[in-house]
A and B are shown apart, each in its own frame.
Chain A
């Protein structure tokens, strides 16, 4: 399996299609810690990504950059900006390539993770999307497949459920965040699951 502009296009369409189901669950998770709009915000973001026309480009980097721009104009939320940051980094790292092999997933995601950490100033262990991406990076460096990524994101969500949020608005709720899923981590788990399912269906 490899990443191509066409594959990227179909992946964002898949996630956008799965958003209908995810939106309320993510809003509900966020309502316990914030203002309850994570699902609505991500739905708006993925609608923007799905509308991006990648058919005219053969360059994976250009495709990622186009998606980064679409993400950047869709929302001002921290999570949305982290998604845009990750896409921008992936665009820079894959510039000029027509396809990227699965065995490069871990390296690319690690670069995206670094950029997200430096942009958001959160650390690993704070119970954020960073912890999910970190878990995925470690897992796909051994097994570069979407089901493995989905599995790692789900394990991270379960591991962190019993810990407190240490950064951002959720930090205000202190110990009340113990036992509660971080909405960003839940989103990564659900998105990875949707992508893995879609791939299995294709096979």
Chain B
């Protein structure tokens, strides 16, 4: 698989160099430069921190900005951030009002952030954790807390970030993030694999004419694998599965995110969105704030995810409040 890069071992650091040079609102920080923070820190407020492996841009570092994340610790491609960089990210985000750690439900990330949190307790930094668990393909509804976090986590970034910016305390920001996760569902399909820089083969194998429903963003197994079908059939099944897993107490309004996993074109995303929006309309759901584009990728994997955030009025207002980061702006 061809990639524009220099040495594979420089892939992440050179990517971060370019990211901050192209976006002066972001700064590399921390001993190893693996923390991205806002160049101009926010006025005193609760800190919102995320982190994870590289290879998913705009996740995670791309969402550092006003009304969103304060800092983000980043690891090597598909490898969790070090405990050291988690500690640095939390320290840089802390303004004495505590820190929310908001990241995907992956073993390495969880271990490192948990450990960082324990180490910082001794320094008197208070922190809470909310895990993104939106991927309905990764576990059944009865084991919802075991689900992995994928693209839908950006709704929690936005809502928690807006609440923190508005001056909410740590408990309130944590509760908003958790409720947003609870009201968000995602499912993805994959059509071609990705390859880690320097690896001599793709991360998984999928036939040229095959599609897999529910595959994870590192190639984790999904629900079924079969011959590629027309976009409308795929969209219908994704919407059906999402609505079948509708959160308890959800209303009739939802934000829809149609996200490219990397290689899938905007054209294809809009073909899918057209059908998704029709199906949701038929199901009596009013779409608020549609999002179509690259929001959480898996290197050059071809594929799409669809997320629904069944925002209640409070969360809908937070999603609509102004914010700005390099990859997502909400205008006042």
Per the bound structure, the CA–CA distance linking A45 and B24 in Å amounts to 33
Q: Are B108 and A77 in contact (CB under 8 A)?
A: yes
Q: Are A73 and B108 in contact (CB under 8 A)?
A: no
Chain B residues contacting A73 (CB-CB under 8 Å) are 31-32, 82-85
Q: Are A78 and B82 in contact (CB under 8 A)?
A: no
Chain A residues contacting B119 (CB-CB under 8 Å) are 72
Per the bound structure, the CA–CA distance linking A180 and B107 in Å amounts to 22
Per the bound structure, the CA–CA distance linking A85 and B79 in Å amounts to 17
Q: Are B83 and A172 in contact (CB under 8 A)?
A: no
CB contact under 8 A between A78 and B76, given known A36-B199, A72-B115? no
Q: Are B85 and A76 in contact (CB under 8 A)?
A: yes
Q: Are A85 and B115 in contact (CB under 8 A)?
A: yes
Q: Are A77 and B79 in contact (CB under 8 A)?
A: yes
**B183-224 vs A, Cβ < 8 Å mask (1 yes, 0 no):** 000000000000010010001000000000000001111000
Q: Are B82 and A74 in contact (CB under 8 A)?
A: yes
Q: Nearest Cβ in chain B — how far from A65, in angstroms?
A: 10
Chain A residues contacting B218 (CB-CB under 8 Å) are 169
Q: Are B111 and A78 in contact (CB under 8 A)?
A: yes
Chain A residues contacting B82 (CB-CB under 8 Å) are 72-76, 80
- Beta-carbon nearest neighbor of A75 in chain B: B82
Q: Are A172 and B108 in contact (CB under 8 A)?
A: no
Q: Are B114 and A172 in contact (CB under 8 A)?
A: no
| B75 interface hit (Cβ, 8 Å) | yes
Q: Are B83 and A81 in contact (CB under 8 A)?
A: yes
**B75-92 vs A, Cβ < 8 Å mask (1 yes, 0 no):** 110111111110100000
* Residue in B75, B114, B203, B219 whose CB lies within 8 Å of A76: B75
Chain A residues contacting B174 (CB-CB under 8 Å) are none
| A53 interface hit (Cβ, 8 Å) | no
Q: Are B112 and A81 in contact (CB under 8 A)?
A: yes
Name the residue among A35, A37, A74 with the largest chain B CB count within 10 angstroms.
A35
Chain B residues contacting A80 (CB-CB under 8 Å) are 82
- Beta-carbon nearest neighbor of B78 in chain A: A35
Q: Nearest Cβ in chain A — how far from B226, in angstroms?
A: 19
Chain A residues contacting B219 (CB-CB under 8 Å) are 172
Chain B residues contacting A74 (CB-CB under 8 Å) are 82
Residue numbers of B with Cβ under 8 A of A are 31-32, 53, 75-76, 78-85, 87, 107-108, 111-112, 114-115, 119, 196, 199, 203, 218-221
Closest 6 CB pairs of A and B: A73-B84, A72-B83, A76-B80, A76-B75, A76-B82, A78-B108
12 residue pairs A–B, Cβ–Cβ below 8 Å: A72-B83, A72-B115, A72-B119, A73-B82, A73-B84, A76-B75, A81-B80, A85-B115, A88-B115, A119-B111, A169-B218, A172-B219
